[in-house]
Amino acid sequence: MYRKLLSLAFVGLACASANATSQINVDELADKVEPDVIKWRHHFHEFPELSNREFKTAEYVANYLKSLGLEVQTGVAKTGVVAILDSGNPGPVVALRADMDGLPVKEQNDLSYRSTQVGEYNGKEVPVMHACGHDTHMAMLMGAAKILTDMKGDLKGKVKFIFQPAEEGAPAGEKGGAEVMVAEGVLKNPDVDAIFGLHINANTDVGKVRYNAGGTMAAVDPFKIVIHGKQAHGAYPWKSVDPVVTAAQMIMSIQTIVSRELKLIDDAAVVSIGSIHGGNRSNIIPNEVEMVGTIRTLNKAAREHIYESLPRKVKAIAESMGAEAELTLPLDYSYPITYNDPELTQAMLATMQRTAGAENTLLSKPVTGAEDFSFFQEQVPGLYVWVGGKPLDVSEKDSPAHHTPEFYVDDAGMKLGVKLLTNFTLDYMAQH
């Protein structure tokens, strides 16, 4: 028994020594590549492109990956870029993902690399800005690609670098993003064993990483309700079948799905109406009212319940008012729950603590925002974390929100992201 324990102790010491040596190499290489990561980020930020239009962005990324000697594929899901690093040694296939698209937002700050670009969105010319940090995601993944290529001899298996277009949603009438990449086989040939992704966060201090196991970001299901009534003069409402009053009752009833039908102590859920249109004069009760809204859920049971309850309420309320209603669910796109595989999350917790420091590795509550990284996680175990981008001298209250003209994250936050992507890969390979 003593010999067995002694043997296990030596194995543990050897693993710890290997991890320490690997961490020293990653730290040194991350310091070395950081100026390039900042340079790449500034370039992407200054020249953003909208979803499914990331042509120059993709070319810039592909050219760099080719310069590393990687096997590069372009045109995946229209503008996506995928590169493979083969260590030549047997082992798992680890995928790392970054998103590439900007948003139709006009930048309002005094950065030397601020965007003045314009693009076309739904037939209109619009300003374009990286208002969510995808510029940093690309730069961080390129930095990790450089380090992992330099450490090729230490790898066991393959790394697949996925630069994904259209995370913010494809233009009207088009498909895009992670769902299309999966359909085109991005997780195959070679088959991916696990995937890692991260998101910069403007409200989290530089140097910190936040994570959660299980349902981490919500499924998103937009919907549309069209209520058909009978038009009449506003002075004679009894001659109408009023779709406006029907819509009002429907909106109030829909709110009870979450407040009265779901067990909210388990997970949060949201059903929101975001837009309602009907009529054009104060004295005319219209024929029709149209509403659009969104559903957000953090577990499968809640999602399935809302899918059953919403049609039931819409139909019953319309019938009770003598109206007819058409429900389209989902409306145009639908993202599953961003679900961090619990076993993978637990296995990588030590990696996060070693990389950022235990005091900077924060267990966070789930959020009702959505991410199409979830399509990858439906196919293979995945882990998605948040990396701090808020300058330490700025309060959370004063930090601009994502998707706003003032959005800002500090370059200093990216080095931790580079190291996390690298260490996730190295540690997963070591464990498998």
Assess whether pLDDT exceeds 90 at residue 1: no
Distances (CA, A) of 54 to 74, 329, 406: 12, 29, 22
Q: Please report, for the chain, the start and end positions of each structural domain, with discontinuous segments joined by +.
A: 2-217+338-431, 219-328
Q: What is the pLDDT of residues 107-119, one digit of tens each?
A: 999 999 999 999 9
Mean pLDDT calculated for residue range 266-291? 96
Q: Does domain 219-328 correspond to CATH entry 3.30.70.360?
A: yes
Q: Which helix (H) or strand (E) holds 118?
A: strand 118-121
Alpha helices in 52-153 (DSSP H): 55-67, 134-150
Residues 6+ apart with CB under 8 A from 302: 262, 266, 267, 269
CATH class of domain segment(s) 2-217+338-431:
alpha beta
Give the pLDDT confidence score for residue 18 in this predicted structure: 54
Distances (CA, A) of 216 to 335, 336, 373, 423: 13, 11, 11, 21
Helix axes 55-67, 134-150, angle to 10 degrees: 10
Assess whether pLDDT exceeds 90 at residue 7: no
Give 363's Cβ-side CA count (13 Å radius): 7
| Active site (catalytic) residues | 101, 167
End-to-end CA distance of the chain: 27
Question: Which pLDDT band holds residue 290 (cuts at 50, 70, 90)?
Answer: very high
Q: Which helix (H) or strand (E) holds 289?
A: strand 288-297
Give the pLDDT confidence score for residue 333 in this predicted structure: 86
Assess whether pLDDT exceeds 60 at residue 21: no
Give the pLDDT confidence score for residue 264 in this predicted structure: 86
Assess whether pLDDT exceeds 50 at residue 3: no
Q: Which 8-state DSSP code applies to residue 201?
A: E
Helix axes 2-46, 55-67, angle to 10 degrees: 130
183 versus 14: the higher-pLDDT residue is 183
Give the pLDDT confidence score for residue 405 in this predicted structure: 98
Q: What is the pLDDT of residues 321-357, one digit of tens each?
A: 999 999 999 998 899 999 999 999 999 999 999 999 9
Give the pLDDT confidence score for residue 11 in this predicted structure: 42
Give the pLDDT confidence score for residue 19 in this predicted structure: 62
Average pLDDT, the chain: 94
What percentage of the chain exceeds 90 in pLDDT? 92
Parallel/antiparallel/unpaired status of strands 361-363 and 209-211 = parallel
Parallel/antiparallel/unpaired status of strands 288-297 and 269-277 = antiparallel
Mean pLDDT calculated for residue range 216-226? 97
